[in-house]
Structure 1
Amino acid sequence: MIYEASAMGFLRTILILLLIYFGVKILSRLFAPLILRFVAKKAEQKFGQQFGGFQNQKQSNQKRAKEGETVIDKMPENHKSSNDDVGEYIDYEEVD
């Protein structure tokens, strides 16, 4: 069987697609804040679990320090070295 496309069928399809598009658009405006809030809360819980141990360790170090005492958790490493293989810098001037 061969089916022929009719103008009413085409318009009906376009109307259904537009209704679906605008329906999804309206529903996303209603539910997007709820979904984003849920995702943010889950991410906050996940980060809290990962980094919770570091905060507890830092608080315990602060409690052990006496008033006026300086506590250094980590000494910075001084590995400043220049690369001499690069060459020298030449400042060029534009000649007219």
Structure 2
Amino acid sequence: MQAASFTGILKAIFYMIAFYYIFRFLAKLFLPLLVKKVVEKAGQKFQQQQQHSQENPWNKTTAKDEVIYNTANTKNPRETKKVGEYVDYEEID
């Protein structure tokens, strides 16, 4: 069984602090570049979608343009649901 030494604990703490500061330094260097690439890629994807939608618009349908009105709903207006009836209560002394 090994016992933890004081110098071993200090070394571990030093390595943790060093790793933390190195990680922060590298994140400051590379994170802006990474975010820039992600934004550029999203912008390119957005432009591709816009070009695709302009090439194939939704309003391109068959030559036969028909409008069908559903008159069944206009004859019978929508009824409101009746959940129950109102009961007036009186207090009894």
Same fold (TM over 0.5): yes
Distance 1:35 1:83, change over 3 A: farther
Structure 1 spans left out of the alignment, 5+ residues: 59-80, 88-96
TM-score, scaled relative to structure 1? 0.55
Distance 1:86 1:12, change over 3 A: farther
Structure 2 spans left out of the alignment, 5+ residues: 58-76, 84-93
CA distance in 2, matches of 1:17, 1:55: 54
Select the structure with the greater relative contact order (CA < 8 A; seq sep ≥ 6). 1
Aligned to 2:4: 5
Aligned to 2:68: none
TM-score, scaled relative to structure 2? 0.57
- Quote the RMSD (CA, aligned, Å): 2.9
Are 1:39 and 2:38 counterparts? yes
How many residue pairs get aligned? The number is 67
% of aligned pairs identical? 31
| Larger Cα-atom Rg | 2
Distance 1:57 1:3, change over 3 A: same
